[in-house]
């Protein structure tokens, strides 16, 4: 497959993920019931979030294979931040009554900060070492 096309698909997945994180975050601030996010459009947001994460992961792995796993040192920070983002989103939207709304909002905020940090790493491409 053409690396430019694959990179474009990867970018579309990232843009979709950013939009979904922002839109789904609004459900933590409006129409909240019993420490759960607004459930009216839950299925749509879950589907979009899972789809965009799947696109990002699979195209990222494919691009990594095309580069023969030769990466810069900042790539490892990007992977760690990605895992932080995903785990924070899991905490924010887990169907568990014991998770307080403030914890959900904090999880969403951490995920958003991690996303912005990943974007910053990609733009700056710092040299560690």
- Please tell me the distance from the alpha carbon of residue 63 to that of residue 66, in angstroms, as a whole number: 5
Residue-wise pLDDT for 51-65, tens only, equals 999 999 999 999 999
Query: d(Cα 90, Cα 105) in Å, to the nearest integer?
Result: 12
pTM: 0.90
The residues spanned by each domain of the chain are 3-124
Q: What is the pLDDT of residues 27-81, one digit of tens each?
A: 888 877 777 777 777 888 999 999 999 999 999 999 999 999 999 989 999 999 9
């Amino acid at each position: 497959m053409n690396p430019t096309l694959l990179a474009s698909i990867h970018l579309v997945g990232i843009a979709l993920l950013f939009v979904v994180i922002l839109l789904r975050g609004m459900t933590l601030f409006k129409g909240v019931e019993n420490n759960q996010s607004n459930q009216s459009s839950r299925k749509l947001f879950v589907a979009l979030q899972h789809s965009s994460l799947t696109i990002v992961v699979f195209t990222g792995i494919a691009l990594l294979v095309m580069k023969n796993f030769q990466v810069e040192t900042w790539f490892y920070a990007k992977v760690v931040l990605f895992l932080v983002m995903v785990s924070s989103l899991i905490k924010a939207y887990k169907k568990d009554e014991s998770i307080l709304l403030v914890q959900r909002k904090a999880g969403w905020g951490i995920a958003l900060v991690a996303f912005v940090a990943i974007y910053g790493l990609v733009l700056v491409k710092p040299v560690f070492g």
